[in-house]
Amino acid sequence: MIDEKNGATSTAGETNTDELDTRYVGFCDILGFSNRILGDFNKTLEIYKHFGKSLSSLPTKDVQVTMYSDAVLITGKSLGRVLSSVQSLWFAALLHDLMIRGAITKGRYWEQREGGHLFVASDALVRAVKLERSIGVPAVFVADDVEIPDELWLLRFHAGLFATPLLHFRDRNIVNPFNPTWFRSAAVRALQLMEGSPSHKDKYLWFLALHKAVAASQELIPADVLTRFLRNGVLKKAMTDDHQ
């Protein structure tokens, strides 16, 4: 559970640490999980256990992952690694017919591990929680004040849309929920979920529109970034380097 005043939470752990630094903080909500728990606790618990096992395979180098109830907290000092971990979270969710919604911010992060407890205070976490609550679609937004390195956008041109963990869609920077392995099945699962929950049709239509944009190989990077790349010759050089 998170206290919005200071971002406090607790989980199991054994290493004693007391650290204050700057981190990227991703806060994600597993959509529909609470309703499933209330509707069929035993069946949902089994799904949750399998979901937890899937999370144990997340790339965790320089990244910390904490899961509690329907929330997942991912922190790290590298934006690229946090984005990649959220991508893996997307795969785990879709694998179990679930979707996620969340936000990534950057800011001060303090934690203390003592015995079996983890205490956290973070302005970045508080802002991530508030942003996540304002999102009305199944997506993980990157906060507008998070600076995106050019190399993350250029990955799209180096090796295609599946190579980049970041997309720009409908005026927002979002974590790319797709990769070649589950791209096709992602649309099928979204359609199945929409049929099962017609009251949330608009949310699934948004996801399917994103899927369609990726399938059409749209640029999906900010227009000003693309213009700057073309004006400065950065994009031409990147594409030339790849063919040398």
Quote the pLDDT of residue 168: 97
Over residues 44-51, the mean pLDDT reads 80
- Whether the per-residue pLDDT at 240 is higher than 70: the answer is no
First to last CA, the chain: 52
Binning pLDDT at 50, 70 and 90, where does residue 243 land?
very low
Tell which CATH classification among 3.30.70.1230, 1.10.3720.10, 3.40.50.970, 3.20.20.220 matches the domain 17-242. 3.30.70.1230
Q: Angle at which helices 150-159 and 223-232 pack, to 10 degrees? A: 80
Instruction: Note whether 82 and 74 are within 8 A (CB).
Output: yes
Query: Per mean pLDDT, which range of 9-18, 71-80, 208-217, 223-232 is the poorest?
Result: 9-18
**Plot region of 126 (φ>0 → left; ψ -120 to 50 → alpha; else → beta):** alpha
Instruction: Note whether 24 and 146 are within 8 A (CB).
Output: yes
Q: Which residue has the higher pLDDT, 22 or 50?
A: 22
pLDDT digits (tens, 9 = 90+) for 200-215: 899 999 999 999 999 9
Binning pLDDT at 50, 70 and 90, where does residue 36 land?
confident
Binning pLDDT at 50, 70 and 90, where does residue 52 land?
confident
Question: Distance between CA 70 and CA 89 in Å, rounded?
Answer: 13
The chain-wide mean pLDDT, for the chain, equals: 85
Question: Which tokens hold the place of 148?
Answer: 């995106």
Quote the pLDDT of residue 2: 45
Could you tell me whether strands 140-142 and 117-122 are parallel, antiparallel, or unpaired per DSSP bridges? unpaired
Instruction: Note whether 176 and 87 are within 8 A (CB).
Output: yes
Question: Distance between CA 92 and CA 74 in Å, rounded?
Answer: 14
Could you tell me whether strands 140-142 and 99-114 are parallel, antiparallel, or unpaired per DSSP bridges? parallel
Residue type, 105: T
- The continuous run of DSSP H or E covering 36 comes out as helix 33-39
Q: How many CA atoms lie within 13 A of 224 on its CB side?
A: 2
- Whether the per-residue pLDDT at 55 is higher than 90: the answer is no
Over residues 39-63, the mean pLDDT reads 77
